[in-house]
A and B are shown apart, each in its own frame.
Chain A
Amino acid sequence: MSILESSVAVSAPSGWRVLWRRYRRNRAAVLGLILLGLVLFMAATAGFVEPTDPLRRAGEPLVPPFTDWATPLGTDQLGRDILAGIFHGARTSLLIGIISTVLAISIGTVVGAVAGYFGGWVDDVLMRITEAFQTIPNFVLLLALVAILGSSLENMILAIGIVSWTAPARLVRAEFLSLRGREFVEAARNLGVGDISIIFREILPNALPPVIVFASVIMAIAILLESALAFLGLGDPNFASWGNMIGAGRAVLRTAWYCAAIPGLAIIVTVLAFSLIGEGLNEAVNPRQKKA
């Protein structure tokens, strides 16, 4: 027996390694990882670039990029170092993106799991609520929430989470609908396992992979939502934010358009990284879905 077991273990490489091998084959997905590495690097080293405050005056106002070594990417109209803003903005974007994505997925998972598992009127009520959230344009709802809650960093994360949970809820519900009739669920039920336990310990681990793949899409949208809020001047003014830098750059667009262009490129790189990773993961997890 032991010989047989060990030979099986050797011939079948672990799931993660297979996933990585499939993922690696997709060049665009690897580029996504590299871009994400770049953004993570900026977030990690922001403290070295500007240890005190990225919003402080660092030099003369409106120094063009690549002219002064103290401020390599130039300064804005208030003399703030653009490079420091970009590095610290990476921190803010990732922080808001990660926490609000976790929040959105948690809400969505609970709603979708309960709706899909119990079905009937519970499902009806929860799905109508989900539809209501999807019917209201998400940015309009986000504005309303920020107007009511205020725009501190925590409240922005909360508001972005509240407008982003519907897609994962539908995804989890669909998984639960197809899994709840399976034999392992019946078996658990016959053993007397409670509903809560079946939902979270039996079905959920099987339903999560597509949701985790989808997380990168939610992350990309969360970062775009935050930057749009900050652009409109509705973000938290105490944190460096790419959106806010673009909003400030709008005032000097005619004379110094680089003030808006540089943070814009940072947003594009970050969102592109998450979209590419999401696509690569999706193909690696469902290799048969890709045609031709």
Chain B
Amino acid sequence: MLSYALRRLVQSVPVILIIMIGTFLLLKLAPGDTVDALVGDMGGADAQVIARLRAEYGLDQPVWTQLWIYMTKLARFDFGWSFVHEQPVATVLLDRLGTTLLLMVSSLFFAVTIGTVLGAIAARRAYSLTDNIISTLGLIFYATPSFFLGLMMIVLFSVKLGWLPVGGIQTIPSFYTGWEYVKDVALHLIMPTASLSLIYLALYMRLMRTSVIEVAELDYVRTARAKGAGEARLMLHHITRNALLPVVTLLGVQFSTILGGSVVVETVFTLPGLGQLAYQAVIQRDMNMLMGIVFLSAVVVIVVNFLIDLLYARLDSRIELS
């Protein structure tokens, strides 16, 4: 079980190398290099100084040497200097990572739990009115852009009803500590979580519905029913566990898309996370920052997929054999 997941992790090493080369190429394609940014930051310098800076940063070296230097730096999570934030890129990223991960975890949890429960209900009452309502809602959720949903929730819950805060991760100035602080952050996360997760909730719901309908027809379920298992026990112990497998697979495939979606949602709700940082980096032309985010988010996706492999092996004992 562990060896399977580890094998998958080893397979991702060439993928990481390709991503390193890719970000290097993108940096090379971008107009202007580090020294241009530095000189711009200083407000200009003469040609001699610029040439010396280029030599210092290794930018006068052949491209292959530059690529090697860049890759060794990335491997040590050294993403260079951000001239906008006047800090190393890695420091800024680490500072913002927590908010994004929090949003990811809460969105995934919400999407998976509600999605699978609704999907299972729809499947048990397939082709009834309940099923039709759930399935129609799913289609509409799937077609709704997260930023639009976010704005409409702000109109309803913040502007009209005044129940929820418009944005940010906590009340400012806040002197909350302990549970009060947790409650405050949770309140700020409700709308971002809902708008980010609704598309995925719809996906998991539809997948779970098909999956439960398929599993419920299998022989072992009929056996369990013949042996006198009640409907509730049948559903919880026999069907759900197997029907969840495709949902868990999709979870791994979808994670990188959800991380991408957080760019828009964090911008709508002014959450200080990686996504908002990526948007600002584009506006401020902070290329080191942008490439740092590209690389870091790829690493996060690989780590999450490793964890999902472990979870999958835990759920499906047949994997041990292969």
Contact A136 B139 (CB under 8 A): no
Q: Which of A41-49, A56-64, A226-234, A280-288 contacts B (4 or more CB under 8 A)?
A: A226-234
Bound complex: CA A228 to CA B221 (Å): 45
Write the nearest CB–CB distance from A89 to chain B, whole angstroms: 13
Q: Does A131 contact B (CB under 8 A)?
A: yes
* Contact A140 to B297, CB < 8 A, known contacts A224-B145, A227-B145, A275-B139: yes
A148 contacts which chain B residues (CB < 8 A)? 26, 29-31
Most buried by B among A131, A137, A254, A257: A137
Q: Which of A15-23, A196-204, A208-216, A261-269 contacts B (4 or more CB under 8 A)?
A: A261-269
Q: Which of B39-47, B90-98, B107-115, B150-158 contacts A (4 or more CB under 8 A)?
A: B150-158
Contact B26 A260 (CB under 8 A): no
Bound complex: CA A271 to CA B260 (Å): 19
Closest to A142 in B: B260
Bound complex: CA A128 to CA B267 (Å): 32
* Contact A140 to B259, CB < 8 A, known contacts A232-B279, A253-B159, A271-B143: yes
Bound complex: CA A221 to CA B31 (Å): 29
Contact A144 B144 (CB under 8 A): no
Write the nearest CB–CB distance from A151 to chain B, whole angstroms: 10
Closest to A28 in B: B139
Most buried by A among B139, B143, B290: B143
B122 contacts which chain A residues (CB < 8 A)? none
Q: Does B124 contact A (CB under 8 A)?
A: no
* Contact A228 to B147, CB < 8 A, known contacts A140-B263, A234-B282, A253-B154: yes
Contact A140 B278 (CB under 8 A): yes
Which A residues, 119 to 154, have Cβ-Cβ distances below 8 Å to chain B?
128-129, 131-132, 134-148
Which A residues, 98 to 117, have Cβ-Cβ distances below 8 Å to chain B?
none
Q: Does A220 contact B (CB under 8 A)?
A: yes
Contact A264 B126 (CB under 8 A): no
One of B147, B148, B155, B294 near A136 (C-beta < 8 A): B294
A137 contacts which chain B residues (CB < 8 A)? 256-260, 263, 297-298, 301
Closest to A250 in B: B151
Write the nearest CB–CB distance from A278 to chain B, whole angstroms: 11
One of B14, B29, B256, B279 near A143 (C-beta < 8 A): B279
Q: Does A38 contact B (CB under 8 A)?
A: no
Q: Does A185 contact B (CB under 8 A)?
A: no
Contact B213 A292 (CB under 8 A): yes
Which B residues, 19 to 75, have Cβ-Cβ distances below 8 Å to chain A?
19, 22, 26, 29-31
B214 contacts which chain A residues (CB < 8 A)? 291
Bound complex: CA A228 to CA B145 (Å): 8
Bound complex: CA A144 to CA B282 (Å): 7
Q: Does B302 contact A (CB under 8 A)?
A: yes
Bound complex: CA A254 to CA B162 (Å): 12
Write the nearest CB–CB distance from B298 to chain A, whole angstroms: 5
| Size class of the contact patch on chain B | 35 or more
A135 contacts which chain B residues (CB < 8 A)? 12, 15, 19, 256, 298, 301-302
A246 contacts which chain B residues (CB < 8 A)? 147-148, 151
Write the nearest CB–CB distance from B258 to chain A, whole angstroms: 8
Q: Does B264 contact A (CB under 8 A)?
A: yes
Bound complex: CA A131 to CA B218 (Å): 34
Contact B260 A140 (CB under 8 A): yes
A228 contacts which chain B residues (CB < 8 A)? 145-147, 264
Bound complex: CA A227 to CA B154 (Å): 19
Q: Does B238 contact A (CB under 8 A)?
A: no
B151 contacts which chain A residues (CB < 8 A)? 246, 249-250, 253, 257, 260, 264
One of A131, A144, A257 near B155 (C-beta < 8 A): A257
| Size class of the contact patch on chain A | 35 or more
Contact B302 A147 (CB under 8 A): no
Contact A136 B256 (CB under 8 A): yes
Write the nearest CB–CB distance from A61 to chain B, whole angstroms: 19
B159 contacts which chain A residues (CB < 8 A)? 253-254, 257
Q: Does A276 contact B (CB under 8 A)?
A: yes
Contact A134 B256 (CB under 8 A): yes
One of B14, B213, B282 near A147 (C-beta < 8 A): B282
A267 contacts which chain B residues (CB < 8 A)? 143-145, 148
Bound complex: CA A227 to CA B259 (Å): 18
Q: Does A272 contact B (CB under 8 A)?
A: yes
Most buried by A among B144, B259, B260: B260
Write the nearest CB–CB distance from A288 to chain B, whole angstroms: 13
Contact A144 B294 (CB under 8 A): yes
Contact B19 A136 (CB under 8 A): yes
Write the nearest CB–CB distance from B216 to chain A, whole angstroms: 10
* Contact A139 to B145, CB < 8 A, known contacts A253-B151, A260-B151, A272-B140: no
Q: Does B81 contact A (CB under 8 A)?
A: no
A28 contacts which chain B residues (CB < 8 A)? 139
Bound complex: CA A20 to CA B111 (Å): 35
B148 contacts which chain A residues (CB < 8 A)? 246, 260, 264, 267-268
9 contacts between A and B (CB under 8 A): A128-B15, A135-B15, A137-B258, A147-B290, A264-B144, A264-B148, A271-B143, A291-B210, A292-B127
| Sample of 5 more A-B contacts, CB < 8 Å, known A140-B259, A271-B143, A276-B139 | A132-B22, A135-B298, A232-B279, A264-B151, A267-B145
Interface of A toward B, CB cutoff 8 Å = 28, 128-129, 131-132, 134-148, 220, 224, 227-228, 231-232, 234, 243, 246, 249-250, 253-254, 257, 260-261, 264, 267-269, 271-272, 275-276, 291-292
Ranked nearest first, the 6 interchain pairs of A and B with the lowest CB-CB distance are A139-B260, A137-B260, A264-B148, A271-B143, A272-B143, A132-B18
